[in-house]
Amino acid sequence: MASSENKKQTTNNGKSPIEKKAENKKTESSLKRNFRNPFVYIGTIVILVLTIIAFVLIPGVSTGTSSGGQAPSFGTWNGKRIEYSSDSYFADQVSQINDYLKQQGMDQSQSQLYAYQVWRLAFQNTVVRTALLDSAKRAGMKVSEQTIDEEIAKDVQFQVDGKFSLEKYNKTPLATRLSIRNRLRDDMLIQNYYGDLMAVAPSTAEIEFVSSMAKPQRSIQYVDISYANFPEDKTIEWAKANESLFRSIGLSKITITSSQKDAEKVLSQIKANSLSFEDAAKSHSKDSYADKGGDMGTRIFYDLKNEFQNEKDADAVMALKKGEISPVYKISNNAWAIYRVNSESSAPDFSKQSVLDEVKSYLFDREKSVMESWALAKADEFAAEAPKSSFAQAAKKTGLEAKTAGPFILNYGKPSFYFYGQQVGLFQEPYRSLDNDLVGAEENETFLTTLFSTPKGAISKPVVLDASVVVMTVTGDTEGTEQETSYTKFAYPYFFQTALESQIRNTILSSKKLKDEFNTTFARLFTPAAK
């Protein structure tokens, strides 16, 4: 299995908003990397990973027929309906997935999200099965009746004292026997067809090439110019040049979603004092502020203007006096808004740290190029100084800190696969120390390209990461051990098969032959009104 990395642990205490945002993005990236779509074998379910959310299946959904006399349809494959009925493969999958999740200790609280996850996966499995069966039949594949008889004879429900009982079989209702035979026929067709699809294997040359990627290992000395260190004077300079963005105002709001005419009617009642603004919000507004009488609290202009289709309307609201009520503004295709000023617009106070933090957060989220330009200029300053002295001395002279990291390998994207329910890396990462500012860098193509193309001892070009700019020099070049490359040689065929399985599944689920009506049917069956 892949070796774990020795990462330095830190807490959020004392971190700036930018450091927290960068850390959150790294965590988010890690989650996306670690939770992949599961692949389910056809015929029998093998669930690898679904989700870490706890759910429970919502009971009471109809398993009979719809008002049109047919079982509920969740879509079609090549014109064939994907139906749910009590004796269908779809129903079997719902039951098996539900049982599996319960065995994993999922929380038993009522949740429609659980039902959605279970039924969605069951639907997708049914689509894959239907598609493979359709392809097998179109390819002319068949299963003999003798083969089916042999499988029937192995079925324990037809055995007495460990031997097949013809009497017991004949006493089974004809409809049940036919259903069992048809299911066996379909299962064997799919298994044969799927076996042919999965017969492809990687060549020896391909395995050697992939395993060779684990051999070059490089250690580095580097400086990290973090956007969290964007100078305060430059923050204030930029903020003053864009001061209008950070004006604040106290507002209440009423959102009407029926028509502009209805919004105008509510406004006229408020102006005539026949209806207070608060009561109008509670009885007519369709937004999250309605229960609070429309109170939005304090809003900053750069955030407020996003509510309007025309920025000039936001400026007009900012210009209103305390107690004044705005005209009706169209804020989306199906929504109109009325605003009341609770506290007049005020200019930002850039002497307050909280306001500067707000500016820095805005820069990081929406104007990151400002921070990036500063960091790149700082990187150029360091690069110009580095040839004159040692890497560490140049860092100190330019106000930076020289750090070490590595060794790194060419493990772009950290490819992995599932094996017996566990996620396994394709490459064995060498043991290394890694500061938080480089977490995720091994998934950055530019970082890896620069790392493995820069000559040892030379100063690299600046590399732009998510929240910083890095300049590095290669301090060590080593070769991976035979043990490490042998692991990849062993693991790659499994990775190859997993990738092939995923490709087959994704090809089917993205095919034009699939008409996916799952969400519509699910909502109809599971909403309270349907019950």
Q: How confident is the model at residue 484 (pLDDT cuts 50, 70, 90)?
A: confident
* Predicted pLDDT at 524: 86
Lowest mean pLDDT among 297-301, 370-374, 431-435, 497-501: 431-435
Give CA–CA dist 350/358, Å, rounded.
10
Sheet holding 295-300, edge to edge: 295-300, 248-256, 335-346, 329-332
State the average pLDDT over residues 28-42. Answer: 36
- Does the structure show a pLDDT above 90 at 329? yes
How many CB atoms are located within 10 Å of the residue 529 CB?
Answer: 6
Place of tokens 């719902």: 94
Using alpha carbons, select from 370, 238, 235, 358 the residue that is nearest to residue 302: 358
State the average pLDDT over residues 128-133. Answer: 94
Question: What pairing do the DSSP bridges indicate for beta strands 73-77 and 80-83?
Answer: antiparallel
State the average pLDDT over residues 187-213. Answer: 91
> CB–CB of 472/220 below 8 Å?
yes
- Does the structure show a pLDDT above 50 at 131? yes
* Predicted pLDDT at 114: 82
State the average pLDDT over residues 483-492. Answer: 89
* Predicted pLDDT at 386: 94
The DSSP secondary structure of 157-221, one letter per residue, reads: GGEETTEE-HHHHHHS-HHHHHHHHHHHHHHHHHHHHHHHHTT----HHHHHHHHHTTSEEEEEE
Average pLDDT of every residue of the chain = 85
* Predicted pLDDT at 25: 53
Give CA–CA dist 210/183, Å, rounded.
41
Lowest mean pLDDT among 118-127, 176-185, 372-381: 176-185
pLDDT over 90 percentage in the chain? 64
- Does the structure show a pLDDT above 50 at 515? yes
- The CA distances from residue 176 to 169, 181, 446, in Å, are 10, 9, 61
Question: What pairing do the DSSP bridges indicate for beta strands 514-516 and 468-479?
Answer: unpaired
Q: How confident is the model at residue 5 (pLDDT cuts 50, 70, 90)?
A: very low
**CA 308 from centre of chain:** 29
* Predicted pLDDT at 271: 95
Which pLDDT tens digit goes with each residue over 232-260?
A: 999 999 999 999 999 999 999 999 999 99
Lowest mean pLDDT among 46-50, 114-118, 443-447, 517-521: 46-50
* Predicted pLDDT at 108: 53
Q: How confident is the model at residue 24 (pLDDT cuts 50, 70, 90)?
A: low
State the average pLDDT over residues 194-213. Answer: 91
Higher model confidence: residue 160 or residue 56? 160
* Predicted pLDDT at 7: 38
Give CA–CA dist 414/129, Å, rounded.
30
- Does the structure show a pLDDT above 90 at 331? yes
Amino acid, single-letter form, for residue 227: Y
Terminal C-alpha separation, the chain? 49
What's the topology of domain 248-346? Answer: Chitinase A; domain 3 (3.10.50)
Which pLDDT tens digit goes with each residue over 414-451?
A: 898 888 778 888 998 887 766 777 877 878 899 999 99
* Predicted pLDDT at 106: 72
* Predicted pLDDT at 218: 93
Give CA–CA dist 215/219, Å, rounded.
13
Assign domain 37-199+511-526 one CATH number from 3.90.180.10, 3.40.50.300, 1.10.4030.10, 2.170.190.11.
1.10.4030.10
- Axis-axis angle for helices 204-212, 482-509 (nearest 10): 110
* Predicted pLDDT at 521: 92
- Does the structure show a pLDDT above 60 at 79? yes
Phi, psi of 35 (to 5 degrees): -120, 100
Top-ranked range on mean pLDDT: pick from 9-23, 103-117, 335-349, 422-436: 335-349
State the average pLDDT over residues 378-387. Answer: 95
State the average pLDDT over residues 59-69. Answer: 45
The DSSP secondary structure of 336-360, one letter per residue, reads: EEEEEEEEEEE---TTSHHHHHHHH
> CB–CB of 304/314 below 8 Å?
yes
Q: How do the domains of the chain map onto residue ranges?
A: 1-34+216-232+364-479, 37-199+511-526, 248-346
State the average pLDDT over residues 130-158. Answer: 92
pLDDT over 70 percentage in the chain? 85
- Does the structure show a pLDDT above 60 at 126? yes
Give CA–CA dist 277/34, Å, rounded.
49
Lowest mean pLDDT among 10-24, 185-199, 221-235, 400-414: 10-24
Question: What pairing do the DSSP bridges indicate for beta strands 433-434 and 6-7?
Answer: parallel
- The most distant pair of C-alpha atoms in the chain lies apart, rounded to whole Å, by 95
- Axis-axis angle for helices 174-197, 145-154 (nearest 10): 110
* Predicted pLDDT at 22: 59
Q: How confident is the model at residue 16 (pLDDT cuts 50, 70, 90)?
A: low
* Conformational region of residue 231, where left means phi above 0, alpha means psi within -120 to 50, and beta covers everything else: beta
* Predicted pLDDT at 33: 38
* Predicted pLDDT at 65: 44
